[in-house]
Structure 1
Amino acid sequence: MRLLWQGLAAVLLFACAAPDISATEPVRMGNGSLAFETVPGWGLRPDGNSSTGPTHGGVAVDEQGNIYTSADQGVFVFTPEGEVVHSFLGDDYTNLHDIEIRKEGDQEFVYGARNKNAEGIKFNARSGEVVLRLPFPKESGLDLKRFSPTAITVAQNGDIYLSDGYASNHIFRFDSDGKYLSHFGEKGNGLKQFNTAHGMTLDTRYEPNRLLICDRNHKPKGRLLHYSLDGEFIGEVVTGLGEPTSVAIQGDYVSVPDLKGRCVVLDRSNTVVAVLGFNPDPKRGRNYNIPQAEWIEGVFSGTHGSNWDADGNLYVQDWNVSGRLMKLRRLQ
């Protein structure tokens, strides 16, 4: 278990002080080999407005380098330059709280957790064809009053993990055809319990791979946990975070959006090595109702999803009424 060092945090937070609200130039953040700069206006329409509408979702990157982000009304696909080249709209693509992309054979598929629609879903990343739905598995024998999935990930063997983070906090395991296999976890503040198992991914930094899970509202502060693919508790990864919402891995690094208005990056030892976009105003961190006119370049309001491209650039989505997705260009 690693505690977030107060001294390191203080240095990093000072380095991320808020720029002037009128800034239109790129804003630098991070440090050393994890230095980034914002790309002002990235992802906005030609008229300067948001492309997506309200955002409460995730970010994924396909093998061609296109960026997928899920918003309330659907999924939008951007080029690395920030142009929308495709969108998936309609009843099947709303409320995707978390998304991941997996290549299977010669095709790529989007896996999503639909909190308000009480299901997991899998659809073709090109055609949008829905090929699998994962409703609450009655075969589990559980009697749940509510099912509200918040995160989804896929193991190398095709097993699918779906976290009921807004309800029971059980994590359900299915095979690649959607057959229920098992479940683990429960709601609470104990060592092996979850108080909002909000985000999750496959931690490929370890062999065998593990599940890396965000325990967003664990008391006294949020944390990340490791579980085996069989649902066995391995240990706490890092504690003392704010409200970690999701995790995305590239190489040795893990990006962890924090709903209180920042994104932290961990290295292979699970030490915090960068704090990005820190919002020093407690009234504007963890605030959904920040309209586009009040966005501040380089300062986040409620980071919810993130992902990396092959060049190490980072794409971060805010939980936001106007719909905010930002590109952080990696500096060499």
Structure 2
Amino acid sequence: MTNSRRDFIKKTALASTVLSVPSYGFTILKKPELSNQIIGHGNFKYRVHKSWGNLDPNTTPIKNCHEMVLDSKGRLIMVTDETKNNIIIYDKSGKLIKTWGHEYKSGHGLTLFNEGEEDVLFICDPNGGKVIKTTVDGKVLTELPNPKKIGVYTEKMRYKPTETAIAPNGDIYVSDGYGSDWILQFNKNGEFIRKFGGKGHKDEQLNNAHGVAIDDRDPNNITLLCTSRVHNSFKRFTLDGKYISTIYLPGAYVCRPVVDGENIYSGVCWSRMKYLERVPDSGFVTILDRNDKVVSNPGGEKPKYKGGELQLMLQNTPLFNHCHDVCVDEDKNLYVCQWNANKSYPIKLERI
């Protein structure tokens, strides 16, 4: 057999093999963890790395990836409600560094605060009615008092804290998002100061106060952003609890606001679809500019304004199930944590 004949047979066999392999929407030469898919709008577009945070579920299982923060060492710290490893710490390549925590059965909220020269964490365990302050390595430093035990709540009131925010002076704001929808303010020593909000439909009230964040984009006018998820809104308060304004995000059941640079980021757990009801597996990410205007919806429809009013926002790309949190790194890449997403690990969105 001639060399040219052998080459022809080899090339024909290779071509047959390639054609017999299903592509599933990507070429066989593509790295499986990197997608060609680009999502987002305007200056906020992202390449999807769907498998970035995948770990071995036999050794590092998760149920729900609730929230993630970036510490001063550049590590990505995530809280889950899996007691085999409540806290999972990644490096930015998605490699596992370490895990800890076995006691937070409903681990939900995770806030990082730099106290002096040390990072500390505030963990919310809603079903346990607890807010715990720890080191980044898991040493418990203190626990905030339960409002029922200090006369702030009656015994019949529910207390299921979902999130915290820490003011520059160390004051701690706790959102009782699965309980009675109050924002509870404590000083840095854990002494109760006041509560505000509460469940209702008035401007100064909240409905599913799922998240809370310090908005320090204007250092001369630091305020508090509180999620009112059923209202599809963030509500702005002064640091002493006086209502200022509402950022209405029609169609978006937003989780906590994440303030980074000039922008606010948030996971959208559900969006309103047919008949204006929230539907499962309809999440996306929403991004607001310094003027609180939505500029991009990765995984959602392009934001539209008519007469200055934001129009209904819906999922556009069926990439996400229920986006629960967004973490932003120094390069403005996003890491998306999801609830009720078939035990999926975080997805990285690489800024392009």
The alignment's TM-score, normalised by the length of structure 1, stands at 0.82
Show the counterpart of 2:125: 114
Instruction: Say whether residues 1:215 and 2:235 are aligned partners.
Output: no
Show the counterpart of 1:123: 134
Show the counterpart of 1:252: 262
Which of 118, 133, 138 is the matching residue for 2:143?
133
Show the counterpart of 1:263: 285
Q: Work out the CA distance in 1 between the residues paired with 2:206 and 2:292.
A: 20
Instruction: Say whether residues 1:183 and 2:198 are aligned partners.
Output: no
Query: Could you say what secondary structure the match of 1:278 adopts?
Result: coil
Kindly report which structure 2 residues correspond to 1:169-318, keeping only aligned pairs within 5 A, or say none: 169-206=181-218, 207-218=220-231, 222-260=232-270, 261-278=283-300, 299-318=319-338
| Structure 1 contact 68–76 (Cα < 8 Å) conserved | yes
Paired AA for residue 123 in structure 2: G
| Structure 2 contact 101–138 (Cα < 8 Å) conserved | no
How large is the Cα RMSD of the aligned pairs? 2.3
Paired AA for residue 293 in structure 2: T
Deviations 1:190-213 (A, max 9, x none): 211111101111111133211111
Q: Which moved more, 1:162-171 or 1:136-145?
A: 136-145
Distance of aligned partners of 1:28 and 1:107 in 2 relative to their CA distance in 1, 3 Å threshold: same
Show the counterpart of 1:62: 71
Distance of aligned partners of 1:77 and 1:298 in 2 relative to their CA distance in 1, 3 Å threshold: farther
Show the counterpart of 2:308: none
Distance of aligned partners of 1:154 and 1:52 in 2 relative to their CA distance in 1, 3 Å threshold: farther
**Residue 33 (structure 1) shift:** 2.1
Distance of aligned partners of 1:54 and 1:238 in 2 relative to their CA distance in 1, 3 Å threshold: same
Show the counterpart of 1:42: 52
Q: Which moved more, 1:314-323 or 1:253-262?
A: 314-323
Q: Which moved more, 1:236-245 or 1:195-204?
A: 236-245
Q: Which structure 2 residue ranges, 5 or more long, are not aligned? A: 1-22, 27-31, 271-282, 302-313
| Structure 2 contact 42–296 (Cα < 8 Å) conserved | no
Q: Work out the CA distance in 2 between the residues paired with 1:81 and 1:307.
A: 14
Show the counterpart of 2:3: none
Q: Work out the CA distance in 1 between the residues paired with 2:291 and 2:255.
A: 20
**Residue 302 (structure 1) shift:** 0.2
Q: Work out the CA distance in 1 between the residues paired with 2:128 and 2:68.
A: 19
Kindly report which structure 2 residues correspond to 1:139-158, keeping only aligned pairs within 5 A, or say none: 139-145=150-156, 146-158=158-170
Show the counterpart of 1:84: 96
State, as a whole percentage, how many aligned pairs show the same letter: 27
Distance of aligned partners of 1:29 and 1:51 in 2 relative to their CA distance in 1, 3 Å threshold: farther
Show the counterpart of 2:277: none
Q: Work out the CA distance in 1 between the residues paired with 2:94 and 2:295.
A: 27
Bigger relative contact order (CA 8 A; separation at least 6)? 1
Distance of aligned partners of 1:168 and 1:188 in 2 relative to their CA distance in 1, 3 Å threshold: same
The alignment's TM-score, normalised by the length of structure 2, stands at 0.77
Distance of aligned partners of 1:277 and 1:239 in 2 relative to their CA distance in 1, 3 Å threshold: closer
| Structure 1 contact 53–321 (Cα < 8 Å) conserved | no
Q: Which structure 1 residue ranges, 5 or more long, are not aligned? A: 1-19, 280-284, 287-296
Query: Could you say what secondary structure the match of 1:201 adopts?
Result: strand
